[in-house]
Amino acid sequence: MNSTQHLIRIALKEDIGPGDITTDNLVDPDLKGEGVIIAKEPFVIAGLDVAWQVFKHLDSKVIFRPACIDGDTIEDGKTIANIEGKLRALLSGERTALNFLQRLSGIATYVRLHVNELANKKVRLVDTRKTTPGWRVLEKYAVRVGGAYNHRMGLYDGVLIKDNHNAVCGGIKKAVDRIKAKASHLVKIEVEVSTLNQVKDALNAGADVIMLDNMSIEQIKNATAFINGRAVVEVSGNVTKSVLKSLADTGVDIISIGALTHSARCVDISMRVKAADYAI
């Protein structure tokens, strides 16, 4: 939550700066008002608490009453939340709160479409590190709301030996041996490969997870059959919704898709505000 609070402060500072010259000159500081956040299209909601925290930064006594919970499917025209508090806070925080809601709900909605495509399939759909700088915790949260899972959060919580690491170390075996000698025995080791020979090298080196990168369906089938349960199999690289079922049928354990975060569009949400005492 600390990283989220920091991001909220940055977003508010970016938008309000030294002050909202429109609202501050039109609205008395003690005037209270009400707001309603409304869906302008169907989507999966995510980020309600973040939106509330935005308004709370501007008015500590704001009352936020959600009409749904994260993960719910919202229909066009439905109320998402009602807000009561100082009118300046509602007006000045509106855009920032909606930006968070629109982005996170967009990801959750996009993820849900992919998850639904894999209904009844025994495979785990995960995200990647291809996230908006500074937004990773929130975007990966939205992925979970959409029904998928998180890959590693960053470079600090999982070993993934990629092609460039192999090039630097002189091959897969040398890279895996070096990691085993230095990292904790509790840490699993994943190795990225792109050929069947590299699959064999990774397996012989003792990789716990083997990522099949940019392979054809036929290559993936052959690699999965060769691995035969001796390592967890992940497939990645140019994965689209249209090929998810085919990939799942190859027997892989994990499908990772960077597009879950980097290609999701923001959904359409609006907010209507009115003063409790008089109209501005």
Q: How far apart are CA 118 and CA 125, in angstroms?
A: 8
Residues 6+ apart with CB under 8 A from 269: 37, 38, 39, 40, 80, 98, 101, 102, 105
Q: Can you read off the two tokens belonging to residue 159?
A: 């070993």
Return d(Cα 275, Cα 267) in angstroms, integer: 27
Cβ neighbours for 177, distance < 8 A, ≥ 6 positions apart: 205
| Residue 106 neighbours by CB under 8 Å, 6+ apart | 43, 264, 265, 266, 267
So which residues are the catalytic ones? 95, 130, 162, 192, 213
What's the rounded Cα separation, in Å, for the pair 106 and 109?
5
Strands 269-275 and 32-39: antiparallel
Beta-bridge partners for 37: 81, 271
Instruction: Give the DSSP letter of residue 134.
Output: T
| Gap between the Cα atoms of 246 and 224, Å rounded | 14
CB 260 within 8 A of CB 111: yes
Measure Cα distances from 217 to 72, 96, 220, 223, 236 in Å.
Answer: 34, 43, 5, 10, 12
